[in-house]
Amino acid sequence: MATTLAFDVYGTLIDTQGISQKLYDIMGDLSIGFAYSWREKQLEYAFRRGLMRCYQNFATCTAQALDYTDQLFATNISTTDKKTLLNAYETLPAFADVTESLITAEKAGFRLFAFSNGSESAVEKLLQSAGIRSYFEGVISVDSLKTFKPNPDVYQYFLEKTNSQVENSWLVSCNSFDVIGAISVGMKGAWLQRNPKALFDTWAVTPTLTVKYLPKLPELILS
């Protein structure tokens, strides 16, 4: 059976810092810190909603995190500018190495899926805008389960939806919580260390492999 690769989307394939220029146009030098805090709060809200079983989709988490970060930085972003930023979040760019990586993985015979906290429609739009949708056999969203990664149910759901065997399936993500979540249900986990200063969570779980340059992933899996 062919090996299945489940690619996380936001931060792994799609550059969430691609919003920085629009933020800079609004708030100048505060934009870098703002973008980082917005992303961190977005993930925090998803974690909290998953734990509380108080589900709202990822787009709502993103919008509420923007409101919080606006208050935190006292930037007083207008309603119009907030709408502009949220619209821009729907069409963020892919990282420069992504297309090459997906072509290489496809040629190596892997089954490729996008696997995201985002809703299916949002991820479809994002991948189409980034020009990489055609490389994926499908898009699997946690939205159907009304919860978020790293709930173990979402990884089981991925396996069922893609008709994949757990021992032949890899989760590829720059987020250590996502890699740990996948490994905890028996999948293999490839941690993409895009930032050389990034640390993997100091739990008693380690990635099956660590990759620093995404196009090398197929070679590392097959070696």
Catalytic residues: 8
Classify residue 81 as exposed, middle or buried by CB count within 10 Å of its CB (0-12, 13-18, 19+).
Answer: middle
Q: What is the spatial distance between Cα 197 and Cα 163, in angstroms, rounded to a whole number? A: 36
Structure tokens at 190: 């490839």
Q: What is the spatial distance between Cα 139 and Cα 112, in angstroms, rounded to a whole number? A: 9
Task: List 190's β-bridge partners, or say none.
Answer: 172, 209
* Contact predicate 146/175, CB 8 Å: no
Outline where 12-97 has alpha helix (H): 20-27, 31-52, 58-73, 79-89
